[in-house]
Amino acid sequence: MASVLSNISNIIIPVILFYIVAYGISNHCNVYEDFIRGAKDGFHTVIQIMPTLIGLMVAVGVLRASGFLEFVGGLFGGVAGRLGFSPELVPLMLVKMFSSSAATGLVLDIFKNHGPDSLIGLTTSIMMSCTETIFYTMSVYFLAAKVTKTRYTLKGALLATFAGIAASIVLAGKICG
């Protein structure tokens, strides 16, 4: 069964690409020109969002290098511990809202100190997959799409993130307990 799934996963992308090209040709579209136009648009989008990306990456790097994240973790560690949330995960929770790559660095530190199969390691793994980089996504993609009215986006994203964090605590506790 595993080899069948492996073979399917190896051919799915080429099959999808072939289907798209065949569909375009059958509809008398100039597939290559459309591809080039889309690539140019994507390049312009990258240029537009680059300052925001650099700003977010620098800010997270400064917070991490300065020890501020550990300070905040210590500040909220007592409350987090009483809620069943390891105090060492507080900085990860905060950083993940801004940068997934910076959060990955923290994840590697947690894995090195506690191991990936520990309760904190499992909670970390589940939390990373159940949460989103809220502020990164809002700033970068809303800027690129010129969205100015976000209405309930931030509230909904924060609610979903906290639900993901709660789910990671519960699920990791069930796996380890």
Has residue 129 been placed in a domain?
Answer: yes
pLDDT at 1: 65
Residues 6+ apart with CB under 8 A from 6: none
pLDDT at 58: 84
Has residue 84 been placed in a domain?
Answer: yes
Do 126 and 167 touch, CB atoms closer than 8 A? Answer: yes
Has residue 55 been placed in a domain?
Answer: yes
pLDDT 10s digits, 149-159: 888 888 999 99
∠ CA(64), CA(130), CA(119), 5° rounding? 75
Has residue 124 been placed in a domain?
Answer: yes
Has residue 158 been placed in a domain?
Answer: yes
What's the domain range around 112? 48-176
Q: DSSP per residue over 102-126, as a string?
A: HHHHHHHHHHHHH-TTSHHHHHHHH
Do 36 and 46 touch, CB atoms closer than 8 A? Answer: no
pLDDT at 176: 80
Residues of the chain with pLDDT under 70: 1-2, 177
Q: Which helix or strand (DSSP H or E) is residue 34 part of?
A: helix 31-66
pLDDT at 101: 80
pLDDT at 25: 92
Nearest of 97, 162, 169 to residue 106 by alpha carbon? 97
State the pTM of this model: 0.68
Assign 86 to helix, strand or coil: coil
pLDDT at 160: 93
Total domain count, the chain:
1
pLDDT at 16: 93
Cα of 23 vs its chain's centroid, Å: 32
